């Protein structure tokens, strides 16, 4: 951060932004505590005086902006506003949490303390530290959820101003945002913020693609709004005749959601038809239930437009896990285009826009136990038993964030919400951990099913148990929910500790039985670890405890027979060579100390050239990047740079976990090397169609084919081909040409995201 005196113009700008914050606050229903907020602003302004952000603007503008997001976009009150204004004071200045407590009280001090503990992004330099910081973030859910909400507001403003950061820092922050913050905002019901975080992450990871889709969207936006007015006119007339106070809004898909659809359906921008959605927000009459009135409006709309029979979503009877309630129906407009209509009351709309903050507001008592409350309880349960492996903990929590729901029933007819893709075993663990541990199967709709059965909407499930049943390692492959994985991991950790304790006792007994072994216990352990190629005594104890290692030949291992075997390495476990040394030998001191080689510095913007590919840089097998793909580099512990596509799932985890090892990369290749790429084709199995495909590849593009695998069934063929291409442009041109062949219906690169 830079530091210099503020100009008069900058002071005026700071004052204007603060007055805008007070104006936002004045338009809320919160009890007005302007004096307290002004006190917090003046204190923060003095603390950050003269400090500037990378962009050069006064640093105090950042906490003001975060406070404005808290009040205007999330709906928080004075405590959160003050905490947002003060959130960087303890981290960046000499003031302490105790200073904050003395000036602003316990609650604000507690929130600022929580924000300070997770400052600098969720993740630090080491994976264990990253997950530990992330755990701190989640623990604040138990203490005060406002810490998480303010942190999300902080991340949103950082993303809005990310352009001032260097490229490698943009990748790290955008990756972290996409991996954790956007899903967390989604799970807390902050849908507009989740959408913007996703869009901004995509913008900085794929700037050219983002700009291309954005420009196309701008060109058709006016036409879409004209379509909206024509579509909305008869609905307005009907709602007015029904006597409702209402608002009709047009919602156009974000750039990121359009790109996701293009990738999923392997289609062009022009083929994405559902760009427009219509939202009806109405004030319900007190004489009827909100649910009944939503269905009345649904009935009125479907009298005007024909509904799609498979595109009705009732989130009123069973709200989403993040608290979302609405009735969705897709209808066909006069121009033949499908348009989704979302029907909400004012209350439902506020919960949809402001998530947990609004959900909090509408709670009337402890009996209001929403899916969001249940999720928060589950998070606290996971946090009560933290993982030994930090990245395992991160993955376990991540499972819970973006899951879609399926609604199932207990034998007594009680409805339960499970993530889409859950198994019968997941359901057992959701009911109770002991039920899961002893589960042998289930009855679904009165029919016996295995533990791995995938739940479907409307299933009625009865869990079958046996006291003799215990979790198996392969169960980890059957479960999909965070709770089930956490329960299993805790069970296996308990079992491992039991085996280690039992194994340590057996090893101690075996050593104590031999006087010579007992006199050299430390050396004996070292020899055993060396023989079995282990690094930690706990590994040895665990294997002994489980019976995988027997101790009846311990003396032969420690005292190998004399003779020729004393002078050469002898065979150990797995026939690998390990050196045998006399018990009382001490290693000879090395005459020559190896000089530490200075670490090779790599610039944070890497240029990939033909002669360095495969030597200085390695192209990752997980995503098969080729010249022209948008890529980044990851420096491993040995100093080797691995090249990944920016949207490779492995790269997303690396950006999140090892931000300081991420490098921006660009291609500077000259069609010297060719790369094997796999393409998939589907089409009508007509005579000559495949001859046309081969001619296009070999004659028109002069591309060599490595392998072909084609099958045909009921007049439809499907196949894969491995071809040699120089770069992404050559591959894209080939795919475009193949799509133009009349009977080819689908062509795609197998290694694209989502395949």
Under a CB-based contact definition with an 8 Å cutoff, are residues 632 and 665 in contact?
A: yes
**Over 652-664, what HEC string results?**
HHHHHHCHHHEEE
Q: What is the DSSP letter of 517?
A: H
* Rounded Cα distance, 482 and 322, in Å: 16
Backbone CA torsion sign across 199, 201, 203, 207: negative
**Cβ contact 254:182 at 8 Å:** no
Q: Which is the catalytic residue, given 92, 514, 722, 752?
A: 92
Catalytic residue among 91, 237, 434, 611: 91
Q: Which of 372, 363, 357 is nearest to 28 (CA)?
A: 357
Cα separation of 392 and 401, whole Å?
A: 15
* Interacting residues of 153 by C-beta distance below 8 A, sequence separation 6+: 66, 69, 70, 73, 74, 84, 193
* Residue 158 vs residues 69, 116, 174, 207, 355: alpha-carbon distances, Å: 12, 16, 10, 17, 21
SS3 332: strand
Q: Is 267 helix (H, G, I), strand (E, B) or coil?
A: coil
- Is 426 noted as a catalytic residue in this protein? no
Pairing status of strand 439-444 against strand 415-419? unpaired
Q: How many CA atoms lie within 13 A of 723 on its CB side?
A: 28
Residue 204, H or E segment: helix 191-205
Query: How do the residues of the chain divide into helix, strand and coil, expressed in percent and rounded to 5?
Result: 50, 20, 30
What are φ and ψ of residue 312, in 5° steps? -110, 130
DSSP assignment of 603-635 equals -SEEEEEGGGBTTTEEE-TTT---TTS-EEEEE
Looking at 341-370, list the stretches that DSSP marks H as alpha helix, in order from N- to C-terminal side. 346-362
> Rounded to 5 degrees, what angle do the CA atoms 524, 530, 531 make?
90
Is residue 45 within 8 Å of residue 64, measured between CB atoms?
A: no
Instruction: Tell me, rounded to whole angstroms, the distance of Cα 69 from its chain centroid.
Output: 23
Burial 370-396 (b: 16+ CB within 10 A, else e): bbbeebbebbeebbeebbeebeebbeb
CA distance 489 to 482: 10
Name the residue among 276, 278, 292, 312 with its Cα closest to residue 242.
292
Verify whether residue 91 is a known catalytic residue.
yes
Give the helix/strand (H/E) hosting 25. helix 8-26
* Distance from C-alpha of 627 to C-alpha of 631, rounded to nearest angstrom: 9
Torsion-angle region of residue 327: left (phi > 0), alpha (psi -120 to 50) or beta?
beta
Residue where the block lists tokens 């390990």: 578
The two counts, helices (H) then strands (E), for the chain are 28, 23
Q: Are 341 and 295 in contact (CB under 8 A)?
A: no
Helices (H), 363-468: 371-384, 390-399, 424-431, 433-437
Beta bridge partners of 578: 570
250 vs 257: CA distance, rounded Å:
16
Q: Where does 532-604 have alpha helices with state H? A: 537-546, 554-558
Non-local (6+) Cβ contacts of 9 within 8 A are: none
Would you name the residues annotated as active-site residues? 91-92
């Amino acid at each position: 951060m830079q530091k210099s005196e503020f100009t008069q113009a900058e002071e005026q700008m700071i004052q204007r932004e603060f007055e805008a914050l007070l104006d936002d606050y004045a338009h809320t229903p919160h009890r007005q505590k302007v004096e307290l907020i002004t006190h917090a602003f003046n204190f923060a302004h003095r603390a950050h005086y003269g400090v500037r952000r990378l962009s050069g603007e006064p640093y105090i503008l950042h906490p003001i902006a975060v406070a404005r997001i808290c009040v205007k976009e999330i709906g928080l009150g004075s405590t959160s506003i003050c905490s947002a204004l003060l959130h960087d004071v303890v981290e960046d200045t000499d003031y302490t949490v105790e200073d904050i407590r003395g000036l602003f009280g316990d609650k604000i001090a507690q929130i600022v303390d929580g924000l300070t503990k997770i400052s600098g992004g969720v993740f630090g330099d080491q994976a264990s530290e990253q997950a530990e910081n992330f755990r701190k973030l989640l623990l604040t859910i138990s203490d005060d959820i406002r810490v998480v909400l303010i942190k999300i507001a902080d991340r949103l403003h950082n993303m809005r101003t990310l352009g001032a950061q260097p490229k490698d820092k943009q990748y790290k922050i955008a990756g972290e945002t996409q991996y954790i913050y956007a899903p967390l905002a989604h799970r807390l019901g902050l849908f507009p913020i989740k959408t913007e975080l996703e869009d901004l992450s995509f913008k900085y990871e794929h700037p050219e693609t983002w700009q291309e889709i954005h420009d196309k969207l701008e060109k058709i936006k006016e036409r879409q709004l004209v379509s909206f007015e024509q579509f909305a006119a008869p609905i307005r007339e009907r709602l007015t005749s029904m006597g409702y106070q209402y608002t009709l809004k047009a919602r156009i898909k974000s750039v990121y959601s359009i790109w996701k659809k293009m990738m999923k359906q392997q289609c062009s921008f022009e083929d994405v038809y559902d760009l427009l959605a219509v939202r009806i927000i109405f004030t319900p009459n007190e004489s009827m239930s909100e649910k009944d009135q939503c269905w009345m409006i649904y009935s009125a709309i479907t009298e005007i437009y024909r509904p799609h029979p498979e595109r009705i979503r009732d989130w009123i009877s069973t709200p989403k896990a993040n608290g979302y309630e609405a009735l969705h129906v897709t209808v066909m407009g006069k121009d033949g285009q499908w348009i989704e209509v979302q029907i909400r009351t004012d209350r439902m709309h506020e919960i949809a826009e402001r998530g947990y903050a609004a959900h909090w507001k509408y709670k009337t008592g402890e009996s209001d136990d929403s899916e969001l409350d249940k999720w928060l309880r589950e998070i606290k349960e996971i946090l009560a038993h933290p993982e030994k492996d930090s990245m395992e903990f991160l993955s376990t929590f991540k499972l819970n964030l973006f899951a879609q729901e399926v609604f199932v029933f207990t034998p007594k007819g009680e409805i339960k919400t499970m993530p889409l893709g859950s198994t019968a075993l997941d359901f057992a663990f959701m009911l109770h951990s002991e039920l899961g541990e002893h589960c042998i199967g289930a009855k679904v709709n009165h029919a016996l099913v295995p533990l791995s059965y995938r739940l479907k909407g409307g299933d009625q499930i009865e869990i079958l148990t046996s006291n003799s049943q215990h979790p198996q390692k392969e169960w980890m492959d059957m479960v999909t929910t965070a709770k089930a994985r956490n329960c299993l991991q805790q069970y296996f950790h308990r079992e491992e500790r039991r085996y280690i304790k039992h194994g340590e006792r057996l090893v101690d007994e075996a050593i104590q039985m031999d006087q010579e072994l007992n006199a050299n216990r430390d050396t004996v352990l070292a020899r055993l670890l060396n023989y079995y190629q282990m690094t930690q005594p706990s590994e040895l104890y665990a294997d002994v405890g489980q019976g995988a290692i027997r101790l009846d030949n311990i003396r032969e291992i420690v005292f190998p027979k004399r003779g020729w075997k004393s002078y050469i390495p002898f065979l150990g476990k797995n026939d690998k060579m390990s050196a045998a040394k006399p018990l009382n030998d001490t290693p000879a001191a090395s005459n020559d100390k190896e000089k530490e080689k200075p670490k090779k510095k790599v610039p944070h913007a890497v240029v990939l050239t033909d002669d360095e590919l495969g030597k200085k840089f390695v192209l990752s097998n997980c995503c098969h990047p080729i010249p022209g793909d948008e890529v980044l580099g990851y420096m491993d512990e040995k100093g080797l740079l691995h090249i990944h596509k920016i949207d490779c799932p492995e790269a997303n985890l690396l950006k999140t976990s090892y931000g300081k090892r991420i490098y921006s990369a660009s291609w500077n290749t000259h069609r010297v090397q060719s790369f094997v790429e796999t393409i998939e084709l589907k089409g009508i199995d007509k005579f000559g169609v495949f001859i046309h495909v081969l001619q296009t590849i070999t004659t028109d593009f002069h591309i060599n084919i490595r392998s072909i695998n084609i099958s045909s069934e009921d007049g439809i063929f499907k196949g894969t081909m491995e071809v040699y291409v120089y770069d992404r442009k050559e591959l894209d041109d080939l795919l475009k040409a193949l799509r133009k062949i009349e009977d080819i219906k689908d062509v795609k690169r197998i290694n694209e995201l989502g395949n």
